[in-house]
Structure 1
Amino acid sequence: MADAVLSFAIENLGNFLVHQVNIRIGVRDDIGWLKEELGFLQASVNRAESRQEDEIRLWISTVRDVANEAVDILKRFQDGQASLEQGHMDRFLNCICICKKEAQLYDIGNNIESLKKKIGVIKERRLEYGIDNILAGPDVKQKERTLIRTSAIDKQVDVVGFKDDIQKLMKELNSEDPALKIISIHGMGGLGKTSLATKLYNSNELRDFGTRAKVCVSGEYTIKDVLKRIVKSFKGPEHEQYMSNMDEHDLLQYLSKLLQNQGCYLVLIDDIWDINAWSQIKTAFPNQDNGSRIIITTRNKKVAETVDNKGLAYQLRFLREEESWELFCKTAQPTDQLENLGKEMVGKCRGLPLAIVILGGLLLHNNSYDYWAKVKKHIWRNLTDDSVDIVEILSLSYKDLSPQMRDCFLYLARFQEDQIIDVERLKHLWIAEEFISEDEEGDGVLVEDLAEDCLNELSNRNLIQIEYLQLNGKVGSCRVHDLVRELAIKKAKEQKLLVIFESSKHQPNLIHLLKGQRRHAIYDGTGKYLKSLEQHIFDASFLRSLLLEGYEDKVELKEMKLIYTSFINLKVLDMSSVESHWIPEEIGDLVLLKFLGLMSNGGKTVAVPTSIGKLKKLQSLWGGSDGSYYTVPREMWELPELRHLYYLFIGISGRLNIGSHQIKLHSLIGIQMREWVKIDTVNFINLSTLHMLNIDGEGYSLESLSSLNLLKSVYLVGPIKELRFLPDSIMDLTLCNSHLKEDPMPSLGNLPNLTALELDRRVYLGNKMVCSQNAFRSLQILRLRSVYNLEELQVEDGTFPCLKSFQALDCEELKKIPIQLERFLTEFGKGEMNSFSLILNVFFRYW
C-alpha cells in the first residue's frame, strides 16, 4: 500500500515540474529533490512491506504520511492557481495575482522545508532501527510467479467429517411428512454451517422441489432487503422492478402469494443472528401441507430452538482428530517429513474447520521444515487455553501475504457481510485501483491474468470461499467468511486503504472516520453521506474510489450531479447497486475514471450521455445489478482504453464503425444480436469473451465471429441455423435455446481448442446426438442441461481423450449414459445456478 502511495506522489511531483514552468528556481530545485528522495525511499519500502517487525511497520507509516503530505501541498498550490486564473484580469488585478502567486510559492517552499526535516528523521530512524540490517536477511517471499488455474473438478465443495450429519439431515428433508418443516443448523462461527447447508441444498439426493431459493441474512440486514432478495432468488433479478414501490407489508404478502402458486418449495436462510429476523419474515412462508422445507443456519442456539417448536434444531459438532487431519491434508498437502509438525499444529485448532483450512492455506505454498517450524513456534507463543485462536491464525496468514496480495485482500472489506462477489468485477476493480500494475504485462500475460493469480492465491489460502465455478473451471463468484472479513475491515482502516460509512450505525465522529481516507464504501444513507460532503467534513478531491452499495437508496439527479462534480479525482466509481433514472452530462468531468459501475434503473431504459466520450482512461464499464438496459452513444465505442463492457444490455442507433484506435476491447457481455449486427467488428482484434443473447439466426448472420481469431469464451442464447461461423480459437462454449435442427456434435467436435462445452435448454430439436471417433480432442468438461428431446447420446471409441467431467441434468428422455462417459459422471447440484443466469433472465425479459 505504501508503495502505491509513493508512486502516486512521485508521479504528481514529476507532473508538477513539467507543467509549472514559471516558478522560482529554488522551489523547482526543492521539488526535484523531494521527488528524488521519495524515489530512493521507495526502493527500501518495496522490500520492507513484506516484513512485519513493529519497527518496520512504524517506519513505513511515516514514509507514507510524508508522501501524502507532498501530494496535498501540490494540490493546495494548484487549487490556488486555478482560482487566480479564472476570468479576465486587467493590469492591476494581474499584479495582485502575481503577488498572491509569490505568496503561495513562499508557502510551498516553507512546506517543503518541513518535509525535508521529516525525511531527515526518516533516514535517521532507518539507521536507528537497523532496518537495513533486517532487510538484508533472507526474505521468504521471494519466489517465482506461477499461474495457478482452478479446476471445476478439484474445487467442488468438500465437506469433511459430516457424512453422518448429511445423512440425518437429508432424512429430515426427504421425509414424507407433508407439513412445512424447519431444520435449524447451529454452532459457532467457522464450524462449516454454511458449507454443510449448501451441500444439502445442492445435493442430487434431495427430492424434487417445485421451486427453491437461498439468501443470507447476517448481522447487518433490513427486512425489506431480505424479502426482496428471497423473491429474486426464487424468480430472478428481473423481479426487482415489480418490488420497487413495495414496503415490508407488501413484500410479505407478495412472497406468500408467490409461494402459494409454486407448490412445494425449499428455502435456505443462512446466518440468522437473532430471532427478530425470523419473526418478521416467517409469515411469508405458507404451510400448505405439500412437503415444503426451510433450512436455517445460525450461531445462536436460542434462535435454532425457537424458530419452530416442531422443527429440528441440529447442533453441528467439532471435527474429530482424524477428520481434522484429513481436512488439513486436503489443503496443505504435507510431506511425510512434515506430518508430525502438522499434526501438532492441527491439534491446537480443536476441530474448528475454518482454523484448519486457513492454517493449511498458510502452509501450502512452502513445504520446508524450517518454515513449518517457524509457524508452529508462532502459534505456540499465542496459545489461549492450550488452543489457538482463529484470529491469530488469520493474522498470521495475512502477515504472510506479499504487499500486493495484502492490498487485494484488504479490498475485500468493501463488500458487505456474506455478499456474493462477482469475481470478474473484483478483478477489474483491483486493476482500476492499481493494486495490479499494467507494467507487469508481457510475454502473453495480461493484467487480467495477474489479477486471476491473486484471486487464486487467496482461494488457495482459504481467505475467500468459492461460491460458484464457471464452466471452464475458473472461479465465477466468491464470498468472504465474516471472521475473515472482520480482519480485512480492521486492517484496511489501520492502513488507510478503505473506510466504510453506514448511517444505520452510530458513527459520531465523521471527520475522524472519513478524513485522509482515499476509498469510501457507502453501505447505506447515501443522502447523509452527501450532506457531510456539502458540510465540508472531508475533502472530496482527496478521494480516489467511491462505492455506493445501498440497495434501498434511490439517488436523485441533484445528488448525481454533486457526485460527478465533487469527486473530480476518482479512478473508481461503482454505483451499480443503487437506483437512479438519470445519468447527467457531468459524468464526463470524471476524466481519471478507470472503472465505472452505472446505477440500476428499475427496469427502465436510461440514456448514457455523449460526455462519456471524455473518459479516455476508462477500462471497465459495468451496468446495474438488476440487468438494466441502456442506450449508448457512439462516443463510448471510441474510448481508447476500454477493455470490458459488462451487463449493459445496450441499444445502438444506426450503423456503427469502430475506430482503429479502439483495439483493446476484451470482453463484451450481454449484447443482443440485433445490436451486434450494427457493429463493424473488424477492429475487435483482441475480443476474447462474448456473451450474446436474443439471437435470431434466421434473420441475421453470425459470420462476423469467424474473423475474431482471439475469441476464447462464447455464450450464445437464441435460435441458430448452423455453427460453421465458430472460430477455431474457442475454448469455452455455451449454447442455449439454439433450436438447432441438425446434430451439433459433428461441427463442435472439430473445434481444436474446445475444452469446455455446455448445451443448455432447447439447444437441439432432434433426439439423437453422435460424437464421432477422434472428435473433441481437447474437451475436458461436457455439460448437458435440459436438452429435453434427447433420447440417445452415441459416443464412438477414441472420442473425448482428455475428458475429466461429464454432467447431465433434466435430460428426462435420455435413459442411458454411454459407457465411455460413465466414469466421468460428476455431481451437478440441482440448486446450482451458473454465472449466465443474469443474462438468461434479461433474455426472457426483452425477447
Structure 2
Amino acid sequence: MEEVELLQHLRKILLEGDRYLVVIDDIWDVEVWRRIKNAFPDKKNGSRIIITTRNKVVSEGVEDTCFVHELSFLSEDESWQLFCKKAKPTLNLEMLEEFVEEQDGVVMEDVAEDYVNELINRNMIQRELQTVDGRVLECKVHDLVRDLVIEKAREQKILGIFDSGKQHANPRRLLQGQARHAIFNGLGEYFKLLELNSDNLNLRSLALTTETASLKTEEIKLIYTRFQYLKVLDLTSEWCHIDTNNWTNLRTLVISDIEDSEEEEEYSLECLANLTSLGTLVLILGGVISTMQPLSSCKHLNKVFLVCGMKDVAELSFLPDSITDLTLAVDFTEDPMPILGSLSNLTSLCFIHCGEKMVCGADAFPCLQFLHITPTYSLELQVDDGALPSLRAFTIDRFTMGRIEIPLRLLSLPPVPDFINNTYGR
C-alpha cells in the first residue's frame, strides 16, 4: 500500500471509530508531521495525539494549539552514579577543534558553538551552565546518550575514561591510543599504567578530578615530561612548583588546592610565565598569590577565574589586556576598579565578595557588557560620566543586610544570566 493510500485508510478507520489516542515516536523533521497530519481527523471528542521528538524545532513547529512537555534529565546524584564521579561534561571548545570543519570566513569557535547549540535544540544534550553572554559552559546528557557517547568516543579514539572503582579486564586498552584522558579515581593506578604505555606522548587533554587523593611531585613531573602536547589540563591536587617549558601548547589550565591549614600558604605563579598559549586559567587556592606578574607573559589569556588571596590590589595591573572574562573571589582592602577599568577588551566582570566602595572612573570599562557583584556586606558603587558605555546587564546579589547604593542607570538594566555556581565545572 502506497503512503497516500495508507494515510487515507488510517483516516477512514479513525473517523468510523470513537475517540482515539495515537502515539508517534521519535519524529526528527517537522515536514514528516505535515505530510501525515491529515490522517488524524479532529473529531472534537477528546481524541489525542502524542508525538515524541528530540528536535526542539519539531516541537515548536507542529501546531500552535499543541502542548509541549519537556522531559527532565537525571539529577546530579543519579548522574553521579551513572557516569563515574560526574555526568556533566564541561564544554571546552579547545577540545572540539579536531571535530570541527573549517568554514570560510567563520571563526572555528563559532562553528563549534553552532554544533553544540544544534545538539541542545535536538535535546541530545541539555544546557546546564552558561556565561553571562549566553555561551554554553556545561551541558548534561541523558543516560542513554551518555552511554552512546562514551562508547563512540572510545571506538573513535576521542576519549579514554579511567576509574579504578570499575572493573576492567584490560585497563590499559581503555587509554591506549586515546588523545584525551579523564581520570575519576585511582591516580596511583593510572600513573602506573602510564609507565607501561609508550603511546601517550601525543596526549592532548588530561582531566584529573579525583577527590580522594592528591598528586605527588613526582607524578606532576611525569605529566610535564611525558605530555608535551597537552592543550587542556584540569587538576584537583596540591600546588606544585613545576617546569612548564614543555607546555607551550597548553590552552586551558584548572588548578584547585583548598585545604584547611593553620598557616596561610603562599603560592607562586612563576611556573605559568612559560604558558604563552594559555587562554583559560582557573585558580582556586586556599592561600595568597605572591605576585601576578608572571601572567603578564600570557598574551593570549582571555578567561580568568581566581579564588585566592592577594597581597596588593596593584597586582591586578599585571593582568594582560587580552582578558575578556574575569571572575574574582578576592578580599580586596582597596578598590580594584581603577585598575580593572583600563582593561580595554574586558566584556564580562564578576566579583564574589567586594569592598564597601567601588568607583568606575570616567571612560572606564569601555567594552564591559556584563557586571555581576556580590558584596561582602555594604556597598557604594559610583559610576562617573563616560564609564561603562557598553554595559548591557547588571546584577547585584543582596545576601547581606548592609547598605547598598547603586546608580539608577544600572538598576534599570536587565539581570545578568546566572553563571556563578559551578563555574568552569567547579
Fold shared by both chains (TM-score > 0.5):
yes
Q: Give unpaired runs (5+ residues) of structure 1.
A: 1-319, 344-350, 368-414, 759-780, 782-833, 843-847
Change (3 A) 1:636 1:565: same
Q: Map 1:623-634 onto structure 2 (within 5 A).
A: 623-624=283-284, 631=289, 633-634=292-293
Kept after mapping to 1: 8 A contact 2:292/2:318: no
| Matching residue within 500, 507, 520 for 2:161 | 500
Change (3 A) 1:562 1:749: closer
Kept after mapping to 1: 8 A contact 2:309/2:331: no
| Matching residue within 113, 117, 120 for 1:452 | 113
Count of aligned positions: 367
Structure 1 residue aligned with 2:93: 430
Q: Give unpaired runs (5+ residues) of structure 2.
A: 1-19, 41-47, 63-81
SS at match of 2:256: coil
Structure 2 residue aligned with 1:490: 151
- Cα-to-partner distance string for 1:528-572 (whole Å, 9 max, x where unaligned): 1101222x3233312111111222222222222222222122111
The code of the aligned residue for 2:233 comes to L
Kept after mapping to 2: 8 A contact 1:648/1:670: yes
Change (3 A) 1:741 1:607: closer
Q: Map 1:693-842 onto structure 2 (within 5 A).
A: 693-698=352-357, 701-704=358-361, 706-718=363-375, 719-725=378-384, 727-737=388-398, 739-740=402-403, 744=406, 746-748=408-410, 754=413, 756-757=414-415, 834-837=418-421
Structure 2 residue aligned with 1:537: 197
Structure 2 residue aligned with 1:612: 272
- Cα-to-partner distance string for 1:244-269 (whole Å, 9 max, x where unaligned): xxxxxxxxxxxxxxxxxxxxxxxxxx
Change (3 A) 1:438 1:419: same
Structure 2 residue aligned with 1:579: 237
- Cα-to-partner distance string for 1:760-785 (whole Å, 9 max, x where unaligned): xxxxxxxxxxxxxxxxxxxxx9xxxx
Change (3 A) 1:417 1:713: farther
- Cα-to-partner distance string for 1:678-725 (whole Å, 9 max, x where unaligned): 984465211111111322233xx4325952121111111113224425
Kept after mapping to 2: 8 A contact 1:685/1:708: yes
Q: How far has the Cα of 1:503 moved from its partner?
A: 1.7
SS at match of 2:194: helix
SS at match of 2:356: coil
Kept after mapping to 2: 8 A contact 1:666/1:686: yes
Structure 2 residue aligned with 1:690: 349
Q: Distance in 1 between matches of 2:335 and 2:390?
A: 20
Greater Cα offset, 445-454 or 484-493: 445-454
TM-score under structure 1 length normalisation = 0.38
- Cα-to-partner distance string for 1:60-108 (whole Å, 9 max, x where unaligned): xxxxxxxxxxxxxxxxxxxxxxxxxxxxxxxxxxxxxxxxxxxxxxxxx
Q: Map 1:349-388 onto structure 2 (within 5 A).
A: 356-358=52-54, 360-361=55-56
The code of the aligned residue for 1:493 comes to R
Q: Distance in 1 between matches of 2:331 and 2:359?
A: 9
Structure 1 residue aligned with 2:314: 655
Q: Distance in 2 between matches of 1:655 and 1:554?
A: 32
Structure 2 residue aligned with 1:421: 88
Matched, 1:512 2:173: yes
The code of the aligned residue for 1:513 comes to L
Structure 1 residue aligned with 2:37: 340
Q: Map 1:532-611 onto structure 2 (within 5 A).
A: 532-534=193-195, 536-575=196-235, 578-580=236-238, 582-602=239-259, 605=265, 607-611=267-271
Q: Please provide the CA RMSD for this pair.
A: 4.2
**Greater share of residues in helix:** 1
SS at match of 1:602: coil
Q: Distance in 2 between matches of 1:530 and 1:537?
A: 10
Q: Distance in 1 between matches of 2:104 and 2:393?
A: 24
Change (3 A) 1:676 1:484: farther
The code of the aligned residue for 1:703 comes to C
Change (3 A) 1:644 1:503: same
Q: How far has the Cα of 1:449 moved from its partner?
A: 4.6
The code of the aligned residue for 1:337 comes to R
**Greater share of residues in strand:** 2
Matched, 1:670 2:328: yes
The code of the aligned residue for 2:380 comes to K
Q: Distance in 1 between matches of 2:38 and 2:178?
A: 42
Kept after mapping to 2: 8 A contact 1:616/1:641: yes
Structure 2 residue aligned with 1:637: 296
Q: How far has the Cα of 1:513 moved from its partner?
A: 3.0
Change (3 A) 1:475 1:704: same
Q: How far has the Cα of 1:646 moved from its partner?
A: 2.0
